[in-house]
Amino acid sequence: MTATATLAKYQALADQATSGPWSFLPLVNGMPARTISARPGFGTPTVASVQAEPDGAFITASRSLGPAMAAALQEILELHKKDPGSHPYEDLCTVCGDYYPCPTVSTITKHLEGK
Ligand SMILES: [Zn+2]
Cα 99 to middle of ligand 1, angstroms = 8
Cα 97 to middle of ligand 1, angstroms = 7
What are the phi and psi torsion angles at 107 (to 5°)? -65, -45
Q: What is the pLDDT of residue 39?
A: 74
CA-wise closest residue to 109 among 12, 78, 101: 101
Cα 37 to middle of ligand 1, angstroms = 40
- Model pTM? 0.84
Cα 98 to middle of ligand 1, angstroms = 6
Averaged pLDDT, 14-31: 88
Confidence label for 43 from pLDDT (cuts 50, 70 and 90): low
Cα 83 to middle of ligand 1, angstroms = 10
Confidence label for 4 from pLDDT (cuts 50, 70 and 90): very high
Question: Pairing relation of β-strands 31-37 and 92-93?
Answer: unpaired
The total of other beta-carbon atoms located within 10 Å of residue 63's CB is 19
